[in-house]
Amino acid sequence: TEWTPGDGWHDARITAYGPLSLDPATAVLHYAQEIFEGMKAYRHADGSVWTFRPFENAERMVRSSARLALPQLPAEDFVHAVDSLVAVDERWVPSLGEDSLYLRPFMFASEAFLGVRPSQHVTFMVIASPAGAYFKGGIKPLSLWLTEEYTRAGRGGMGAAKTGGNYASSLVAQQEAIAHGCDQVVFLDSAEGRYVEELGGMNMYFLYADGRIVTPETGTILEGITRSAIIELAQKLGHPVEERKFSIEEWREGIRSGEITEVFACGTAAVVTPVGRLEWDGGSVEGRSEPGELTMALRQQLVDIQFGRADDTFGWMHRVL
């Protein structure tokens, strides 16, 4: 669908997948005025098709649009667009194991104009692609690289928005992580370089021996849809959850002293993944070599709700077909 100041959102349609034709002066290509979402459609054993908390994605996109000077897309229109695409051909929703249909709604500045100001023509689209399970051949703890050179977001920046620029700025840090033999990069806050923010595409949790869980507070991180689901599930299991600043020293010390018993991360792609070794320039702490018990229990509960094998007591699932 397209947006212009005069007509608002208009011209919604479903077309065959194919390349876009863009004017070389299209604003998004130069100034990255763009936002997106990531979500999945899951097939249940009875053949029905569901998405997970799609109104949360819709509302996050509204918050992202406010930060990027893009127009608001009403939540109902967002969910309707996603549902309509899935319904075009439901055979694209896999029915094997933990396979799903990945959905990518996105909005970009589509006006051809070289001046720096909000685009007066905006396009919203949804594309889809079948997605396999994140872990092939068993769930293994991720090794993480702590980048001290690069940060992802600062106060007043775009960290809480799901916008391409954040991912552009994370690429060299992720390359650095891989060059050091690690799976993913950990970002710290940009003001003090002390507080854990998130991974390139996941939010983080730390379980203490006394049962409490700490997760970095929101503000400059992306508020994961999975993040808040994990908080609710953990609380239901009797774990107090503290959302607060969490320093890298607390992490290192907690592992060394054994006070932190599990570290895990979560996001739409991996659901929940255990975290093991943490490495940085000049040192490392080992962490667990096997997935922790709570990590796996939370993962299982969430996957079971998403695939309809457990009761959706939180009302998270939205039926598409």
The region of 73-81, 136-144, 210-218, 225-233 touching ligand PMP under the rule CB under 6 A is 225-233
Mark 229-268 with x for binding to ligand PMP (rule: CB under 6 A) and - for no binding: --------------------------------------xx
Q: How far is the CB of 11 from ligand PMP (least distance, A)?
A: 28
Which residues 6+ apart lie within 8 Å of 193 measured at CB?
148, 151
Considering the rule CB under 6 A, would residue 105 count as an interface residue with ligand PMP? no
Comparing CB distances to ligand PMP, the nearer of 224 and 254 is 224
Among 227, 277, 288, 299, binds ligand PMP (CB under 6 A): 227
How far is residue 285's CA from residue 266's CA, in Å, rounded to a whole number? 21
Please give the full DSSP string across 235-263, using - where no structure is assigned. HHTT--EEEE--BHHHHHHHHHHT-EEEE
Residues 162 and 60 sit within 8 Å (Cβ to Cβ): yes
Element (H, E) at 160: none
The region of 75-83, 87-95, 118-126, 222-230 touching ligand PMP under the rule CB under 6 A is 222-230
Backbone phi and psi for residue 13, each to the nearest 5 degrees, phi listed first: -160, 160
H helices of the chain, where? 27-31, 54-67, 75-88, 164-179, 225-236, 248-257, 293-306
Q: How far is the CB of 125 from ligand PMP (least distance, A)?
A: 18
> Which residues pair with residue 213 across a beta bridge?
207, 241
Comparing CB distances to ligand PMP, the nearer of 110 and 224 is 224
How far is residue 287's CA from residue 41's CA, in Å, rounded to a whole number? 33
Comparing CB distances to ligand PMP, the nearer of 85 and 225 is 225
Considering the rule CB under 6 A, would residue 215 count as an interface residue with ligand PMP? no
How far is residue 63's CA from residue 308's CA, in Å, rounded to a whole number? 29
The region of 2-10, 106-114, 199-207, 244-252 touching ligand PMP under the rule CB under 6 A is 199-207
Among 33, 203, 215, 261, binds ligand PMP (CB under 6 A): 203
Q: How far is the CB of 195 from ligand PMP (least distance, A)?
A: 15
Site residues for ligand PMP per CB under 6 A: 38, 198, 201-203, 222, 224-227, 267-268
